Structure 1
Amino acid sequence: MQITLGLLSLKRENIDFDPTLKRVCLPDITKYCPHVEQGNAQVLECLQTVRDKLSPLCEQKVFKVKRQEVYDNSIDYALITMCADAIEQFCAHHDRETILDCLKVNKDQKGFSKKCRSIVIHRMIEQNSNYQLNPSLQENCKMDINKFCSNVINTNHGKDLNEAVFKCLKGSFKKGVLSHKCENEMVSMLREQALDVSLNPLIRVVCKNELETICKLSDEDSGKTEECLKNALLENRIMTPVCKVEVANMIEESQADIHVDPLLQQVCALDLLKFCKDVPQGNGRHIKCLRISMDNHQLSPECGEMLTKRLRMYENAALVAPPPGDFHELYHQVVASPAKHYFFLMFLMMFGSIFVVGILFGRAFRRQMTLKNK
């Protein structure tokens, strides 16, 4: 076993020790990584950063290598090597196979090396870009993906598949229909993305213009960039249509669970503890609780001010976000709506009217047939 792991690690360290990978990917290496030196897994890291541009055979090979690494971090040569000091300091007693989990938790600690944090962030971006490279998501959301996303899996492939599955899970999260395990997994992922927009691959692509002009990325994000994008949408300063939609979706996701809005949660921490400590997490319950407390003039001024702004954001996002795509989605949005009783009453009235008209028409038709037979 040790010999096998040692060989795998050696192949990662220097691509020359993996002749099949080198042969299949040589044109891509020449094109995208011509000046990258051998050793320290630099060539493999380079290929992973341009996965979307690789030839199909090379992409498949790199994906296979990456999949092995995410399920056994001990053979991730770049991670283990560049994070040796951080592992010793923060994760000395953690299992090497899942060492990335420990590094992710400690990446913002004082004394955590910058070079290790950089590769940990890179690994997190990979996991947020490809659900098949996210072991925790696979484990906790497998049933939910099969239940809610089977249609998108059957109709999408490659990069489009990953984007579609993440969108599907986020949509199901907003509706509050995910299992408890999957919901917690999504909260963790979305909270990380809220605190650091660089971990949100979709926003980085569709809001590229806005992130270069209005809300520039910084190493010390702490939720400032996402807050900037939210404010920009509210103030109608986002010009890119797809960026508008994704920022609106981001706002609606934070409405579903306050833990996905770390800035609001931080400002309203004492109010949540005082008025909402027994309120279950998810499905917008904490926001509703805070709103009731605000209507009763109980909130602290800081929390009340930020919540008022958030309510305006929710209202604005609802106008920007796309409407439900099918009956199943429409049903869940109606169920989650505060006016759901009104919708159901209108449906019953409409159904009742059709039923009564059907009875009257049937009687008239039978009467007419009877007269004809006479």
Structure 2
Amino acid sequence: MTEPCKHQLKVAYLQQEQVEFDDKEHMADADPKFAEKCAREIRQFKCDQADSFEDTVECLRLNYENLGPECKSMVFYREKIEAADNTMDDELQRKCKYDIGKFCPGQNGEHVLDCLTNTKIVRLLQKECKAVVQERMRESARDIRLRPGLLLACKTEAETYCMDELKKLKMPQYAQKVLEGAVVGCLREKYRESAHNRIDLSAQCQAEITKAIVEAEFDPQLDPPLYHACQDTIRLHCSAAIIQHSGGFDTVLDCLKADFHKGAISDPDCNKQTFSQIARRVEETMIDIHLDPPLLEACSMDMQRLCRDVVPGHSRTRRVEETMIDIHLDPPLLEACSMDMQRLCRDVVPGHSRIIMCLMEASGSTNAQMSSSCRNMLADRNKLWMKAHQVIQLFFSRQYQMAWPESWHEAYSMVATHPNKVSILGWLSGIVFFILLVGCCCGRLSKRTHMELKNR
């Protein structure tokens, strides 16, 4: 597309966005098709009280989960346009004008959201701007097409390792349908596998995946499966997404981890998703301490002082499956240990749990001077890892425990539904055939006394 054409499209799009509704009866004229597909939702969520077309769209975006299929497709279409070029997101540009000038003066306007979503910046944004940015982050977590930076950086990896998920992007039935994080979830799985040298990811792709992982630590809605399963638990136990205090922070994920450790989560789906999230985070954070921000901050001083001479290399131990690949993936841990990390593990190259292992060794040493916040955070993480390890063992012991069938019907059903039923039937047939073969070749083995008496 030529620049003049692109410019004209942008002008027309923004003019539509900025239409003000002096006459509410003619608000549908801004985009008749959009108004038709979303008429019910506009009335239901009182979006018809908005002062402009962009405010109406924003109202629907905030209630995306409760929209009908046709209205979702219309909203998703606009989301894709604004994700590809942030200058066409008038709501973002208008409410974040001050913060863009303050924090992202040199950023390309088309990708200014990449700067605003930085976890160090997003907490400092003004209230209105922060609300818009957080909503855009939640939208991008639903579909990789709303995260063009990640899609571009990991295009080769997605084509190689996530072909089935990537094919959906080109299918007509998914053109206006959200994929609920399928491609991103696949890439995160491959990122964890890269810690074991099973696959190789480019530096650009790793950076984008790392950013997505860290962002999800601050807002549970950026992990759709976890959020959908734990909405009630979050409202009951963890009402605030981020509880800020004294320059530190706790996250909803930490709240869920604590409830999981205490066995306080009664919802089975939430319990399962929390365990899965912990498992993923343990393995992800093992790549490097920098993916666990709270641990990094709590232990930065101790790390620089006690782990200065640690030889870079793969991690020597694994926790459960999610929080040790890299400390940056666990923001509470990174923040708690950042000073200790700078002091005790200054020369440790981030990656493959080297910094975390440095801090763990320092915390177990009587000679190491480590801050109490970092030491306590490491102790809490260790308890959580042990709890998850117990759950893993219990899960697999139950999964592979087999009860004996009590009837022929149960025996038939057990074999028919077994994933290796062909092998089982093959073995059973082989055994029967072997018995028949032995009988034919060797004859009967029982005594012939009765037959001999009869012949007399």
> Does structure 1 residue 283 correspond to structure 2 residue 352?
yes
TM-score for both structures, normalised by structure 2: 0.62
| TM superposition shift of 1:169 | 2.7
Asked whether 1:45 is paired with 2:58, we answer yes
Specify the alignment match of 2:383 in structure 1. 312
AA at the equivalent of 2:12: L
Farther off after superposition, 124-133 or 201-210: 201-210
Amino acid at match of 1:312: K
C-alpha distance in 1 between matches for 2:33 and 2:168: 32
How far apart are the structure 2 equivalents of 1:143 and 1:314? 34
Larger mean CA deviation between 133-142 and 253-262 belongs to: 253-262
- Decide which of 174, 180, 184 is 1:162's aligned counterpart: 180
Partner of 2:292: 261
Structure 1 residue 62, shift from structure 2 partner: 2.3
Question: Are the structure 2 counterparts of residues 279 and 58 from structure 1 closer, same or farther at C-alpha, using a change threshold of 3 Å?
Answer: same
Deviates more, 1:288-297 or 1:225-234: 288-297
Q: 1:89 to 1:308 in 2, by over 3 A?
A: closer
How many angstroms does 1:70 deviate by?
0.7
Deviations 1:341-362, CA, capped at 9 Å, x for gaps: xxxxxxxxxxxxxxxxxxxxxx
Identity value in percent: 25
* Aligned counterparts of 2:68 and 2:235: Cα–Cα separation in 1: 30
- How big is the alpha-carbon RMSD for the aligned residues of Structure 1 and Structure 2? 3.0
1:167-316 equivalences in 2 (<5 Å) = 167-175=185-193, 176=195, 177=199, 179=201, 180-218=203-241, 220-221=243-244, 222-255=249-282, 256-257=284-285, 258-274=289-305, 275=307, 276-297=345-366, 299=368, 300=370, 302=372, 303-316=374-387
Quick one: structure 1 residues 241 and 320, their matched pair in 2 at CA, closer, same or farther if it must change by over 3 Å?
A: farther
Judged with a 3 Å threshold, the aligned counterparts in structure 2 of structure 1 residues 284 and 252 are, in CA distance, closer, same or farther, namely farther
Q: Is the 8 A contact 2:141 2:180 kept in 1?
A: no
- Cα distance, 1:19 vs. partner? 3.0
For residue 240 of structure 2, give the secondary structure of its aligned residue in structure 1: coil
Q: Which amino acid aligns with 2:356?
A: I
The one of 155, 167, 172 equivalent to 1:142 is 155
Q: Deviations over 1:209-257 (max 9, x none)?
A: 2212222215545334322221111111112223223323333344332
Contact 2:104 2:116 in 1 (8 A): yes
State the secondary structure of the residue aligned to 1:260. Answer: coil
Residues 62-101 of structure 1 mapped to structure 2, 5 A cutoff:
62-101=75-114
Return the offset for 1:121. 0.8
Structure with larger Rg: 2
Which segment is superposed worse, 312-321 or 259-268?
312-321
Q: Hey, which of these two has a bigger chunk of helix by percent?
A: 1
One-letter amino acid of the counterpart of residue 350, structure 2:
Q
| Structure 1 gaps, min length 5 | 324-374
Alignment partner, residue 327 of structure 2: none
1:107 matched to 2:129: no
Note closer, same or farther for the CA distance 1:280–1:240 as it changes in structure 2 (3 Å cut).
Answer: farther
CA contact (8 A) 1:67 1:133 kept: yes
Stretch deviating more after TM superposition (85-94 or 68-77):
85-94
1:69: Cα distance to partner? 0.5
The two structures have a TM-score, normalised by structure 1, of: 0.74
Letter in 1 for 2:226: I
CA contact (8 A) 1:248 1:317 kept: yes
The aligned amino acid for 1:281 is P
CA contact (8 A) 2:158 2:187 kept: yes
Residue number in structure 2 paired with 1:8:
13
CA distance in 1, matches of 2:84, 2:178: 23
Q: What is the aligned length?
A: 321
Aligned residue in 1 for 2:336: none
User: Which range moves more in the overlay, 187-196 or 68-77?
Assistant: 187-196
CA contact (8 A) 1:121 1:199 kept: no
CA 1:91–1:16 in structure 2 vs 1: closer, same or farther (change >3 Å)? farther
8 A contact 2:18–2:54 mirrored in 1: yes
Q: Matches of 2:251 and 2:66 in 1, distance apart?
A: 31
Q: Partners in 2 of 1:220 and 1:96 — Cα distance?
A: 31
- Asked if the contact 2:303/2:362 (under 8 Å) is kept, the reply is no
> Once the 2 structures are TM-superposed, how far is the Cα of residue 155 of structure 1 from its aligned partner?
8.4
CA 1:34/1:242 → structure 2, altered by over 3 Å: closer, same or farther? same
Structure 2: which 5+ runs fail to align? 20-27, 308-344, 397-456
Q: Distance in 2 between matches of 1:168 and 1:217?
A: 29
- Amino acid across the alignment from 1:233: F
Cα separation, partners in 2 of 1:289 and 1:147, compared to 1, 3 Å: farther
What letter matches 1:289 in structure 2?
A: C
